[in-house]
Chains A and B, each alone.
Chain A
Amino acid sequence: MALGILPIAVAIVLLPLGMDFFLSFPFFMYALVMVGGMLSVVFAFTLKIRVDLVPDERSKTTSSIARAFRLAGFTVVEDSQSVTVAFDKWTAIKLAFEEDGGARLKYRLDATRSTLSAILLLFFLSWGVFAIPFCVFLLVRTNGNAMAYIPWVLKGEFDVSPRPGEAQSTKDIRDNLIDSLSEVRRIASDAYWSMHSAMEDAVILSVIVVGLVGGLVLFALLLQTSIFDPYYRVAASLLAGLGVALISSIILAFWLSRRMKQKIEELDSWVTRLDRALLRERKEVDQDGSESSIELLFNAFNEMPRFLKARRKSTLSRYPATQILVLVLVLWGSEFIAGGLSALFSSPLDLLPLAVGLVMVSAAILLYRWSLKKEHAEEIQIAQEWERRREYIRSAVEDQLGGI
């Protein structure tokens, strides 16, 4: 599901309805639901839930938990007291041991960029009341993910235990290979899902845009008809409008999906190759002629800027504050322009909302262009950083192997 466009869809589709609904309420009711929404956010993000551990798991430390989640392919941020694990773009948890009649592992919700953007957007647009169902959704989804993943990861399936008679250097090699492969696999997989989600978002947005254009065509055609026209003329206008919308949507959606499909398939193939290599390192399933893990890592290393770029591309919440501001400026600016246009010829004062609207929309465009430029500059920086690392590895390898 294309969840990336949810905040925008919420704003565009529900905003006008919501405004009418809330304006009909007295102020204290409005304030009450906003406070209720804020309290639900505070409750959802401070509620601590205990994780039941089996005896073998009680000796684990936050660092070993972080490693287990990393090896299982999750994005992990670790500090001295806690481990933050992101399950998907909406759900993340912060795990920590706490003294509660003995050391207990507990987790609470942690905000991802997407959840933070959605919550900020809801409050910014005076839609705080919807934070309540949104927090319920987050709690249920996070709890579901936590219950599914925590026991699976802590079971130790991803731990690399020494094999009988295995030398320490051999185990070190396996540990390092598994660590590197897991990290690259996680980034490639994130890139794959980001690209997938970006494709769905692009297709849905294009269908919406073309649908609106089709609606305008339909409107224009209907203006040419009157109730005195024969019914077939009206029907023909309707069919023409809907036909334009439908055919354009299909063509655009098909073109967009084809354009992105190749990149998605390439990323999928990378994930599969890395999965195969990981399985081999963990289970020692080996066959002559199978792809070398170190060579695969070197090849993947060259692809990293592309993986990271794909991973960053789809995040609608890349610059949450800027995006929310752009959205609000466009929405309010459009309202002002529409209001100004509808009363354009009533009095000269009515030019004021039109001017304000135009300024707001222009500011939104400039802000959006600025964020695109910033993103481009960051991509260049990433590419340079990886080129630097490539050079580093090349010279280090020459040193290690005695002057290649």
Chain B
Amino acid sequence: MPVEQGMDRPDFYVLARILERLWREGGPMLKTRLQVATNVNYDLLMKYLAWLRSRGFIALEENDGHEVVALTPEGEQAYLKLVRLMNEVIRPQD
């Protein structure tokens, strides 16, 4: 059974937080560091990573025997669309 099936409906806030953290890192990131940085329970993080991976937003890679997470160009585009959307809705208010 895929890990993401354990998740009924992903929390949009958590998804945005993970995408942002990976974008800010600018390169692959250890899962444990990502967990600390996003402040998400490890098991839950695995589910979110599986969900993001299934949509091609992130890739899991091997690095010195450790599995690292990297944002794909599609993931970066998705994050860009999110922030653009937010900006479009927020501005201007006067």
Give the contacting residue for A176; candidates B16, B38, B76, B84; CB below 8 A: B84
Complex partner residue of A400 from B10, B82, B87, CB under 8 angstroms: B82
Residue contact A397 to B12, C-beta cutoff 8 Å: yes
Do B15 and A401 touch across chains, with their CB atoms under 8 A apart?
A: yes
Contact B24 A404 (CB under 8 A): no
* Shortest beta-carbon distance from A124 to chain B in Å: 28
Contacts of B85 in A (CB 8 A): 393, 396-397, 400
Instruction: Tally A residues with Cβ within 8 Å of B.
Output: 36
| Residues 3-39 of chain B, each 1 if its beta carbon lies under 8 Å from chain A, else 0 | 0000001101101110111011010000001001111
- Measured as residues with beta carbon below 8 angstroms from the partner, the interface class of chain B is 35 or more
Q: Any chain B CB within 8 A of the CB of A41?
A: no
The answer to whether the Cβ of A371 comes within 8 Å of any Cβ in the partner chain is: no
Q: Are A288 and B37 in contact (CB under 8 A)?
A: yes
Bound Cα distance from A369 to B33, whole angstroms: 58
- Residue B1 at the chain A interface, CB threshold 8 Å: no
| In contact, A294 and B39 (Cβ under 8 angstroms) | no
B87 touches A298 (CB 8 A): no
Q: Is the CB of B78 within 8 A of A295?
A: no
B77 partner residues in chain A, CB cutoff 8 A: 169
Q: Name B78's contact: one of A304, A394, A396, A401 (CB within 8 Å).
A: A401
A sample of 16 cross-chain residue pairs with beta-carbon separation below 8 angstroms, ordered by A number, consists of A169-B77, A173-B23, A176-B83, A177-B83, A179-B91, A180-B87, A183-B93, A184-B90, A187-B93, A294-B82, A294-B83, A298-B86, A301-B86, A301-B89, A396-B85, A404-B9
Interfacial residues, chain A to chain B (CB-CB below 8 A): 75-77, 169-170, 172-173, 176-177, 179-180, 183-184, 187, 286, 288-289, 292-295, 297-298, 301, 304, 308, 389, 392-394, 396-397, 400-402, 404
> 4 closest pairs, A vs B, by CB?
A288-B37, A176-B83, A292-B17, A176-B87
